[in-house]
Structure 1
């Protein structure tokens, strides 16, 4: 039964898999939209307090990976992101159905990886803007990657068997 959600799909399993890719696409769009808005409204290195100063919006660029690691490793970071993107898309489209938490984790991580890959390819660095003061500045894509990886780890540790939905 196709439910008309995805006319190109061969069946319900394929449609569900495509819907997980739509979660990734939503993350990419939300990430790029927030980066665009902040880059238009906040000057480079400007700090704008929000929520009573708990959160600050800070316009910075990161040419490296997390915590600025590999700050001159753009080609390698792009290659890693491409491999992760292809593996994540393959997993969501082709692997047997897994627990929804695991697939959500892959979807979030995939969307975040693509969001940061777009920055890295288009401008040479990743645009970060969420500043909590106690952690390096990050963005929505970074959050999706971290939450996604936590969900994947949780599913591997506490629900390791394949489970039909």
Structure 2
């Protein structure tokens, strides 16, 4: 095969690296958007006012716990340590399995990682996660929470969609 080039042949592992790189870059973009919106919410709502948007209000709240304020009475370092470990495990699993995931599952995993990391970074200052979307009939939440929830749903749907059919025993 001397004299022939192999430039046209994809390097082994290239699709896997590409899938992981896209997930990391997109998740980082979601983190940046989430943190920017939280900073804007703090700037607009720091005096305690509520902005009425009809079905939804904008109201500033700091959640020292996790979902639905679970763990709010725990020391902050415990919440940070546990969520950090969970996010690390989730990121490792998602990035390791990304090449084998379908597009829907990979999108879900990316949203989930972006939202989880956004809330994790937000809680590092010790005040808790900035929540600002308030409906009056549901817990106050933020854009990262929307990313996490949507991500879980898409990941589950993608996993169910790609599962091999079960045959009778």
**1:6 aligns to what?**
none
Extract unaligned runs of 5+ from structure 2: 1-12, 165-169
Contact 1:81–1:114 at 8 Å: present in 2 too?
Answer: no
Q: Deviations over 1:128-158 (max 9, x none)?
A: 0011222111001111111111112222333
**Residue-by-residue CA offset, 1:25-71 (whole Å, 9 max, x unaligned):** 11110110001011111125421112xx2221101111111111111
Q: Which runs of 5+ in 1 are unaligned?
A: 1-9
TM-score, normalisation: structure 1: 0.82
Shift of residue 159, structure 1, vs aligned partner: 2.5
- 2: CA distance between counterparts of 1:155 and 1:79? 30
CA deviations over 1:58-90 (Å, ceiling 9, x no partner) = 011111111111112233321232123222332
Between the two proteins, the alignment pairs up a number of residues equal to 151
* Counterpart residue number, 1:150: 153
2:110 to 107, 111, 120: 107
Alpha-carbon distance in structure 1 between the residues aligned to 2:120 and 2:47: 20
Alignment of 1:1-165 (within 5 A): 11-50=14-53, 53-73=54-74, 74-95=76-97, 96-161=99-164
Aligned equivalents of 1:124, 1:147: Cα separation in 2: 25
Contact 2:62/2:127 (8 A) holds in 1: no
In structure 1, the partner of 2:4 is: none
Cα distance in 2, alignment partners of residues 20 and 136 from structure 1: 29
Separation in structure 2 between the aligned mates of residue 44 and residue 60 of structure 1, nearest angstrom = 12
For the pair shown, which has the larger CA radius of gyration, 1 or 2? 2
Deviates more, 1:12-21 or 1:134-143: 12-21
Most deviating of 73-82 and 137-146? 73-82
| Aligned-pair Cα RMSD in Å | 2.0
TM-score, normalised via structure 2 length: 0.80
